[in-house]
């Protein structure tokens, strides 16, 4: 069934293209305040966790690569938006706790707008 394989590939390509277009448009919206869309994603995901989570677990719920997530958690822990436990040998973040008050405020501020902001879809 060569035709169905091409149809499946075309469908995946269309889905991924639409996703990339929408993510660019959402990221460009003036709704994120003093945090980026990726920072919001991590803070929001952490806010749903009842206990500290390992970065590998957190990575299953956000759209970031593992190295990008590690760097982002380091940046979020620096201004005290979240807390990170570090391994004694390498000093690398290995687990995160829910956002601290500053992180919660930034995430709530950004969260108050997204549902209302994205207007009609605009192709590039």
The pLDDT of residue 90: 63
Q: Is 104 part of any domain?
A: yes
Q: Which residue has the higher pLDDT, 50 or 111?
A: 50
d(CA 39, CA 67): 14
Q: Is 123 part of any domain?
A: no
Q: Is 106 part of any domain?
A: yes
Q: Is 43 part of any domain?
A: yes
Whether residues 36 and 71 share a domain: the answer is yes
Report pLDDT digits (tens) over 18-68. Answer: 999 998 888 888 877 778 888 888 888 888 887 778 888 889 999 899 899
Residue 24: exposure state from Cβ atoms within 10 A (0-12, 13-18, ≥19): exposed
Look up the CATH number of the domain holding residue 93.
1.10.10.10
The pLDDT of residue 120: 46
The pLDDT of residue 97: 66
The pLDDT of residue 2: 58
Q: Is 117 part of any domain?
A: no
Q: Which residue has the higher pLDDT, 10 or 112?
A: 10
- In this structure, what token pair is assigned to residue 19? 């996703």
Residue 72's CB is within 10 A of a number of other CB atoms, namely: 20
The residues pairing with 96 across neighbouring beta strands, listed in sequence order, are 53, 84
- Let me know: does 18 contact 124? Beta carbons within 8 Å: no
Q: What is the pTM of this model?
A: 0.63
Residue 87 pLDDT greater than 50, yes or no? yes
Q: 99-113: buried (b, 16+ CB within 10 Å) or exposed (e) per residue?
A: bbeebbebbeebbee
Q: How many domains does the chain have?
A: 2
For the chain, the average pLDDT equals 74
Q: Is 124 part of any domain?
A: no
Closest CA to 47 of 75, 83, 23, 71: 83
pLDDT grade for 16, boundaries at 50, 70 and 90: very high
- In this structure, what token pair is assigned to residue 35? 């945090």
């Amino acid at each position: 069934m060569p035709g169905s394989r091409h149809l499946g590939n075309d469908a995946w390509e269309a889905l991924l293209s639409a996703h990339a277009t929408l993510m660019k448009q959402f990221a460009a919206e003036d709704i994120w305040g003093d945090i980026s869309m990726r920072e919001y994603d991590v803070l929001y995901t952490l806010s749903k966790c009842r206990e500290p989570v390992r970065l590998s677990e957190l990575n299953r719920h956000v759209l970031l690569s593992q190295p990008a997530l590690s760097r982002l958690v380091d940046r979020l822990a620096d201004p005290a938006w979240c807390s990170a436990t570090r391994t004694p040998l390498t000093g690398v973040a290995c687990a995160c706790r829910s956002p601290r008050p500053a992180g919660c405020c930034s995430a709530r501020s950004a969260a108050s707008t997204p549902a209302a902001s994205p207007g009609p879809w605009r192709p590039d």
